[in-house]
Structure 1
Amino acid sequence: MDAPLFPLFADLNGRAVLVVGGGAVAGRKVEALLHAGARPRVGAPHLSPALRELAEAGRIDWLPGLFDTRWLAEDVWLVVAATDTATVNQAVARAAEAQRLFVNVVDDAQLSRFHVPAVVERGALQIAISSGGAAPMVARHVRRRLEELFDGAWGQLTALAGRHRPAIRARFPDTAARRRFFDRLLDGPVLELLRRHRPADAESALRQAMADEPPAAAGSVVLVGAGSGDPGLLTLAALRALNQADVILYDRLVSAEVLQLARRDADRIEVGKSARGHSTRQEHIHALMLEHARAGRRVVRLKGGDALVFGRGGEELQFLRAHGIAYEVVPGITAALACAAHAGIPLTHRDHAQQLRLVTAHCRDSLDTLDWRALAAPRQTLVFYMGVAALAQIQARLLEAGLPTATPFALVENGSRPGQRVVSGHLRQLADAATTHAVQSPALLVVGEVAALANELHWYGQAPLPAAPRTSSLSAKTPAATLADAA
C-alpha cells in the first residue's frame, strides 16, 4: 500500500457491524466490538462456544448459514471477514466494496479497507498503533513499550480534563492561551496526585490552576539544530522544542522526516537558501522571527546540522538580542560529524590526523579568504561544507598549495539519509569523480588520510563508489595553469 492509512477513531456505539465467521478469530473481533458498544451480527454456519453463549445472552445477532450478500443490510456500518476460507473472505470483501462499506479481512492487508490497530487504553485515552497490516508484531511490540510509559493515572487525568473542558474553554477562549494552560497543567502536580490516589486534591489543583492569572504570552525563539536529516539523531531537547512550537521557520535541507515530528498544528514556513534556486533573504528571516515572537508565539528556527556551524545562527542571535527577544539554542549534530560517521570515516585518528578543520566553501569570496597553505599541512582532516559547486576550485587550490595529488578524499552525498552515497578516491580525481557520479547537494567533502578508511569501515548504505579511473585534467596541469582555469 503506497499511501499511508488515515488514522481514525470510529464511534460504533449502538451501530450494527457484520462479522463473517464463527471461530476463535471472529470471537476476538466480536469482543472488541462489544467493548466499543457496537451491535455485532455474526454470520456463520456454526458458532464457537464463546460466541454461542453471547448469542444466547442476546448480546449478538446470529445469522446462521453460508455468507449471503443480503447480510450487508442498509444499517450495517462496518464489515469484518474472519473465516478460515480465503474464497469466502474474498467474496465478503468484494460485496462490501460494492456497497461502499469499509471491510477488514483478517490477515489480508491487501483486501482490507480498514485495519484494527494495537491499542493502549487508559480510560478515555487511547493510543492506537498500526503497521498498515504489514507487520502486526511490530505494532504489538510498540504497544508493549507504550504500556510501560503510560500508567492508569493518564486515563484519570483525561477524564478529569474532560469533565472540566467547558469551564477550561470558557476561561481560556484563545487557543494559544488554552494550550499554554494545559502545558502548565501537565507539568504541574495534578498527574502525580492522581498517581498517589488523591483525586480530590488533583481536582483542587486543577481548579487552582484555572483560577491563577495566566502569565502574559511571551514570545521567544529557539534555534534548533536538525542534524543531517536522520530524525533519530535529534536530541530530546530538539524534539521537545518542535512539540511546543507555534511557528517553525525551517531551512531547505531539513528533512521531511524531521518535520513530521513537529506539532501538527504549528505554522511551517520554509526559509531555505539555495546557491542555484530561490533563496529567502536573511533580513526576511529576521523579520519573520521578530514578527511572530512579538505576537507572543513560540518560534523554532530549525536549521540543518547545527545552527552555530556555518548556519548564520550567530547573526540571528545577535538580531534577537538587539531587539529584546528571548532565545534558546538547541545544538544539533553538525554535518561533519554525522556524515563522516555514517561513511565510516573517523575525523581524527592517532596514525593519520591530529587536527580537524571545518571549512565553508559556500561561494568564491569564501574561497579567496582561506589560508590554503595551512589547509595543505600534513596530518590533518579537512571537511568542506557547501562545496559541491566549487569542487574544481577546491581541488586546484589544494594542489597549488602543495597537498599531494594522492591525498585521499571522500564525498558524502545525503549523509545519514536513506539515499546516502559515498564517492572516494585521490585528490587528483576529485572534480572528475564528482562529475562522473553526478554528485548533488547536500554533499560533504572530506580530505585527508582518514578519508581512505571509508572503503574499510563503511557500514551504512552501499559501499563507497570509486573515483573515475581516468586522470583528472586538472592534475595534469601546472599549478599556475590550474588556478588560471579555475578562476
Structure 2
Amino acid sequence: MEYLPLFANLRRRTVLVVGGGHVAARKIELLMRTGAQIRVVARELCPQLTGIINNRDINWLGPIFEPAMLDEVFLVIAATDDAELNARVYKCADERHTLVNVVDEQQNCSFIFPSIVDRSPIIVAISSSGKAPVLARIIREQIESMLPMFLGTMATIAGTWRSRIKQYICNMAGRRSFWEKAFNGSFANMVAQGKLEQAEQELEYQLYNCPSQSGNVALVGAGPGDSGLLTLRGLQLMQQADVVLYDYLVNPEIIDLVRRDADRVCVGKRVGEHSMPQAEINRLLVKLAQQGKNVVRLKGGDPFIFGRGGEELQEVAAAGISFQVVPGITAAAGATAYAGIPLTHREYAQSVTFITGHPRDDGDFIDWPSLARCNQTLVVYMGVMKAAVINRKLVAHGRAPQTPVAVISRGTYTDQKVLIGTLEQLEMLALQALPPALLVIGDVVALSHEINWFGQENLIA
C-alpha cells in the first residue's frame, strides 16, 4: 500500500491554497464543504474565485507566498503554473512536516486527493495512488451509479438513533442485526420515498416491539431489452434483493446484475404458454414478503404499461406489505427510438396511442374509429397474432391501406430487426417477425430511413 487512506476533519482548521486559477477554485470549493478556514495566496484571482472570496469567509493574504504563511497551517495546496513556486511551497511545507499537495505533481505531494463519491455523511474515496487518475474517475462514476442519493439522509437518521439503539440492545450482534434489517427493509424504503417522519416511526416500532416479519416488494421495470437502459434505482434494488421474480422478456444480462446470493425465480409468460398463472404470482409476492424478504418483481419494459403491475400491487397492498415502484423504459419508447421512428412529429403525428393486441378473454371494447384517425401514431403491444384483424379493422374505419407500418422484432437487442411496409402488408410482416415484436402504425414510420441509427438497416417489404 503506497498511500494510507485517511479521512481528515478540517472543520475550523487552517488550509493554505497557493494559486488563484480555476484549478485552485475547484479545490477551494471542495474545501469549503468541509468547514475549513481557507487562506489564499495568488498574484491574481480568476472570476470564479473572486466571487467566492467576496461572498465567503475566505482570507486572501496577497500576491506573494512567504514561508511564514505556513505557520499554524494544517495542510497546504499549491495550484499554480509556476513550477519553481510549486517546488518552493512543497519544500517549505515538508520541512515543517505539514501535509502538502502540489496539483498534478505527484513527486511534490505528501498527500493526494482521491476521487470522491459524496453521500454525506457517507463518503467513498477512490485512489490509484497517483498512477491512473482517469481510471480512478471512471471507477468513481461506476460507484456513483450504484449508491442511491438517499444514503446520506438514511445515515444521518441512523446517527441520531445510534445511542438509543445502543442503550436498548446491549450486545453488538443484536445491534448489527437490527441495523441490517433496517437498512434493507421498510425503514430504508420510507427514506427512499422521502417519508422521513414515518421512517423514524418505523425505527421506533422495530426497536420497542417484536420485529415485524414482513419484508417489502419492489416492482421494477427492466426496460425493453438493452441492459444499458436499466435505471440506476432498479439496479440498486436488484443488488439489495433476497429474491427476484422475473419474466422471460427480461434480458439475461440484466438478470446477471442481480445480487449473487439472491434467489431467482422465473415466473414469465409467453404467448400461448404460462409458466405460472397470474394469481399464483400475486400470492407468491405476498408470501415471500411475509417471510421477511426483500422481493424484487422484475418485469420487461415498464411494469404499468401492459405489464399487469397494477394487478400485482393491488394484492400486495391488500396484504399490508410495504412496496415501491421503479418505472422502466417501455417497449414503445425504447424499440421505436432504436429503430429511428419518432412517436410524435409536428408534421406527421400530434398524438400517440398504446394498445394491446391481447385483451381480456371476456372482451374489451376497442374504439376502432378513434384508433383509425390520421395524424396519430398507433403502437400495438402483443399484436402479432392479431395483425390481420388490426389491419382489417383500421382500414374499415378509414385508415389508408398505404399508411406506413413497422414491425420491430427484439427491439433494442443487438439482433433487432425492423420490417417496414404498409398497413395492407401488416399481416405478412408480422408473420416474419421473431417475438417479442411491436407493431407501429403511422406516417412517422417513413422517417426511419432518415434517422435509423442502431443495428442493421431496416428491411423494406
TM-score (normalizing by structure 2): 0.58
Map 1:10-409; keep pairs closer than 5 Å.
144-146=137-139, 170-171=173-174, 179-180=180-181, 216-363=212-359, 365=361, 369-409=365-405
Write the distance in 2 (CA, Å) between the matches of 1:431 and 1:140: 56
The AA in structure 2 aligned to 1:401 is H
Query: Aligned Cα RMSD in Å?
Result: 4.0
The AA in structure 1 aligned to 2:448 is A
Residues 311 and 149 (structure 1), Cα distance of their counterparts in 2 relative to 1, 3 Å cut: closer
Alignment match of 2:435 (pick from 441, 465, 470): 441
Alignment match of 1:459 (pick from 425, 439, 453): 453
> 4+ residue runs of structure 1 moved beyond 3 angstroms?
139-144, 147-151, 167-174, 177-184, 212-218, 363-368
* Percent identity for Structure 1 against Structure 2: 47
The AA in structure 2 aligned to 1:271 is V
- Ranges in structure 1 where 5+ consecutive residues have no aligned partner: 1-30, 33-119, 128-138, 152-166, 188-211, 468-487
Contact persistence 2:407–2:429 (CA under 8 A): no
Contact persistence 1:168–1:178 (CA under 8 A): no
Secondary structure of the equivalent of 2:395? helix
Contact persistence 1:409–1:446 (CA under 8 A): yes
Write the distance in 2 (CA, Å) between the matches of 1:238 and 1:450: 31
The AA in structure 2 aligned to 1:463 is E
Contact persistence 1:363–1:390 (CA under 8 A): no
Moved more, 424-433 or 443-452: 424-433
Residues 422 and 400 (structure 1), Cα distance of their counterparts in 2 relative to 1, 3 Å cut: same
Write the distance in 2 (CA, Å) between the matches of 1:397 and 1:462: 32
Write the distance in 2 (CA, Å) between the matches of 1:324 and 1:301: 17
The AA in structure 1 aligned to 2:286 is L
The AA in structure 1 aligned to 2:219 is L
Secondary structure of the equivalent of 2:270? coil
Write the distance in 2 (CA, Å) between the matches of 1:267 and 1:384: 34
Shift of 1:323: 1.5
Q: For each residue in 1:436-468, what CA deviation from the matched residue of structure 2 results, as whole angstroms up to 9, or x when unmatched?
A: xx202111111000011112110000110011x
Shift of 1:274: 1.4
- Aligned residue for 2:417? 421
Contact persistence 1:410–1:454 (CA under 8 A): no
Secondary structure of the equivalent of 1:441? coil
Write the distance in 2 (CA, Å) between the matches of 1:243 and 1:398: 45
Shift of 1:141: 6.3
Secondary structure of the equivalent of 2:438? strand
Write the distance in 1 (CA, Å) between the matches of 2:344 and 2:137: 41
Residues 364 and 170 (structure 1), Cα distance of their counterparts in 2 relative to 1, 3 Å cut: closer
Residues 140 and 460 (structure 1), Cα distance of their counterparts in 2 relative to 1, 3 Å cut: farther
Shift of 1:290: 1.0
The AA in structure 1 aligned to 2:280 is H
Write the distance in 2 (CA, Å) between the matches of 1:217 and 1:320: 15
The AA in structure 1 aligned to 2:444 is V
The AA in structure 1 aligned to 2:138 is R
Shift of 1:142: 5.1
Residues 366 and 396 (structure 1), Cα distance of their counterparts in 2 relative to 1, 3 Å cut: farther
Shift of 1:144: 4.9
The AA in structure 1 aligned to 2:368 is W
Q: For each residue in 1:238-264, what CA deviation from the matched residue of structure 2 results, as whole angstroms up to 9, or x when unmatched?
A: 111111111111111011111111111
Shift of 1:369: 2.4
Contact persistence 1:356–1:380 (CA under 8 A): yes
Shift of 1:277: 2.8
Write the distance in 2 (CA, Å) between the matches of 1:364 and 1:425: 29
Residues 313 and 368 (structure 1), Cα distance of their counterparts in 2 relative to 1, 3 Å cut: closer
Secondary structure of the equivalent of 1:237? helix
Secondary structure of the equivalent of 2:273? coil
Contact persistence 1:388–1:440 (CA under 8 A): no
Contact persistence 2:214–2:321 (CA under 8 A): no
Secondary structure of the equivalent of 1:223? strand
Residues 169 and 423 (structure 1), Cα distance of their counterparts in 2 relative to 1, 3 Å cut: farther
Moved more, 422-431 or 358-367: 358-367
Write the distance in 2 (CA, Å) between the matches of 1:258 and 1:369: 36
The AA in structure 2 aligned to 1:380 is Q
Aligned length: 305
Secondary structure of the equivalent of 2:424? helix
Residues 179 and 262 (structure 1), Cα distance of their counterparts in 2 relative to 1, 3 Å cut: farther
TM-score (normalizing by structure 1): 0.55
Write the distance in 1 (CA, Å) between the matches of 2:257 and 2:354: 29
Shift of 1:434: 3.0
